[in-house]
A and B are shown apart, each in its own frame.
Chain A
Amino acid sequence: MISRRDFLQVGMAASALVGASGFGNWSKLAAQQALTQDELLQFDTFGNVSLIHVTDIHAQLKPVYFREPEVNIGVGANKGEVPHITGATFRKMYGIEDGSPAHYALTYDDFTALAQAYGRMGGMDRVATVVNAIRADRPDAILLDGGDTWHGSYTCHHTEGQDMVNVMNALKPDAMTFHWEFTLGQDRVRELVEGLPFAALGQNIFDAEWDEPSEEFAPYEFFERGGTKIAVIGQAFPYTPIANPSWLFPDYSFGIRDERMQEMVNEVRGQGAELVVVLSHNGFDVDKQMATVVEGIDVILSGHTHDAVPEPVLVGETMIVASGSNGKFVSRVDLDVRDGRMMGFRHKLIPVFSDVIEPDAEMTALIDEQRAPFEAEMGEVIGQTDSLLYRRGNFNGTWDDLICDALLSEREAEIALSPGVRWGPSLIPGDDITREDIWNVTSMSYPEAYRTEMTGEFLKVVLEDVADNIFNPNPYYQQGGDMVRTGGLGYRIDVSRPQGERISDLTLLGSGEAIEADRSYVVAGWASVNEGTEGPPIWDVVESHVRKLGTVSVSGNDDVTVTGVEGE
């Protein structure tokens, strides 16, 4: 069996060594002099196979700030386990110094100060430089895209994913799997998938009518590399028709379908695969569980839950690699595959510091070409922010506070609901808020900001339902998002309880009174999965609100009290 310590190259921890003492004395210049492209890309090529993993880019072509979560609670067997570790605990676990680049890239605290020192991360032209550098070491490295690529920006929405397809085609991935892509609508998905010059994979993408594997998505693809036969099996997001509107893609069914995954592993092994890689959009905890149920997977490249994990997590003989989101990271995994099995690996989670990694000129030009028709309208400054605007966290983020405030005031509601999605980059105090920034946190194909009445009882049902999608102790019943955000509504949640018993003390914040089960409340929200939802698009609602405010100040909130995290 592999000796983990022998083969592991702790990329992030190594780069943290330059961090020296606290960030407070560092000017931006000093910080960047301490960090070089060569250092970020340094990797002693190992074995005979290289995998490159990117995932959950959410159409972020340009560098962004992206604050990682402060609150990311694990339940059941995943309590206190990676990736449910944040902040100082995370840094201690991985030997990351306070104030170091790795602190900034991987944890949430002191985000504003560190963002000013280290700058934005990602940008697909920087990602191209990283990919090209790996290919210079290993020309036949396999580049795999974990999905959530054709969603999440102004240009992606207006081109129906074409900007991302053009950019990714230039990056030349070898295979891809899917989730938000389907929200473009099934006709558009078919059109784009048919034109892809690489494999579109999903062993769990089924024909909804016949409950049989879809003929439009292959379950796996074989690659011959370094004298070995490698199978890459695709796993799309299992709950796409539940977390997103199924009416946009009624011909397709998904599900975890781990029994078929086992059949596919057996099938590719039977055809001589010496290395079995799963390109997954399951989410980290689901992938861990699947690794215990399905035998014979060597590597799971994990997406969906946006976790950036500096070391692979080993479950039995399966190695799980998670590569963050929004283009912040690229994972490189070198493998030694001999005698029909994986003998060792070397891994690095490469942080894409945009001011350190030189952009690839051709890719920059291609990105600018995609953006050019929209630059004027999306570059318009709508307002400014005095506060750090971020989204990630189990219960709330300041971007969502702002969106909920916009819904309450623009839609004249008592209560606002905003979906607990994990995408959406951050802005730091002093930043302009452009139209593009607003679209980065709201862009989707079902943006209608509805206004309706809900009884107190129904509101509790909604909160209980969503809470169980996050805190069900069995990962197979989790959907991988965060809790629905509430405006004008406070509550207590005991994450350790079963569904129906987690939520209590619902309070209408406007009056301070307890929510009554029988009373109706005026509720505004967006991103309903129901067909026929009516209302103005959420980005117009937020834009109008920000225009009126001029300068946004959001201090965060303590409207949700969380219990059941500590102890048993």
Chain B
Amino acid sequence: MEFTRRETLVIGAAAAAVAALPMPAMAATTDELIAEFTGGADVAEGGVDLDAPEIAENGNTVPIEVGAEGATAIMVLAAGNPVPPVATFNFGPLAGATRAKTRIRLATSQDVIAVAKLADGSFAKATKAVKVTIGGCGG
């Protein structure tokens, strides 16, 4: 598993990027990003584990975990962030497990999407809605 240099930069610079790019409309849509990742191939629903909280305890650092049996790469997108690409995890043939865990920043309530490229070249996708709230009052 490894971050590509570009994606690592994106993670590190995400906060700065929000401020520096006042025109998020210029950012590619999640559909376009998925199409770029898959080369336009069909994407099956399911077959990817995406573990994220239903409601984030802290939107600035949301723990997520992705995994897919036999995946060679898994792309993670935060659909509602000004810069949706979060990371793409690439798994080489010597990878012990095709799973990855990290923490991401979510600007607001939104869908987190994981798209996996599987060993046979097919693609699979999972989506989870994560709420970022301003806090409430429990029972």
Contacts and interface: CB of A to CB of B under 8 A. Distances in A.
Interface in B48-79: 51, 53-55, 57-58, 63
Contacts of A211: 63, 101
Interface stretch (A15-23, A165-173, A474-482, A502-510): A474-482
A466 B137 contact: yes
Given A211-B63, A477-B131, A243 B54 contact: no
A148 B139 contact: yes
Contact of A243 (B53, B109, B135): B135
Contact of B58 (A56, A179, A246, A469): A246
A423 B63 contact: no
Contacts of B131: 468, 477
Given A242-B57, A246-B58, A477-B54, A465 B134 contact: yes
A304 B57 CA distance: 19
Contact of B136 (A422, A474, A479): A479
A384 interface: no
Contacts of A527: 137
B135 A529 contact: yes
Interface in B18-62: 51, 53-55, 57-58
A242 B136 CA distance: 7
Interface string A227-271: 000000000011111111010000001111001000000000000
Categorize the interface residue count of chain A.
Answer: 35 or more
Categorize the interface residue count of chain B.
Answer: 10 to 19
A462 interface: yes
A179 B133 CA distance: 19
B138 interface: yes
A306 interface: yes
A417 to B, nearest CB: 10
A255 B138 CA distance: 14
A305 interface: yes
Contact of B139 (A461, A462, A477, A480): A480
Given A211-B63, A259-B51, A477-B131, A254 B136 contact: no
A79 B7 CA distance: 45
B138 A179 contact: yes
Interface string A493-537: 000000100000000000000000000000000010110000000
> Which of A237, A255, A466 gathers most chain B CB within 10 Å?
A255
B136 A465 contact: yes
B127 to A, nearest CB: 14
A219 interface: no
A283 interface: yes
B139 A242 contact: no
Nearest to A467: B136
Interface of B: 51, 53-55, 57-58, 63, 101, 109, 129, 131, 133-139
In the complex, the 4 A-B pairs of residues with the closest C-beta atoms, listed nearest first: A243-B138, A419-B137, A422-B139, A529-B135
Interface of A: 56, 148, 179-180, 208, 211, 237-244, 246, 253-256, 259, 283, 304-306, 419-423, 461-462, 465-466, 468-469, 474, 476-477, 479-482, 484, 499, 527, 529-530
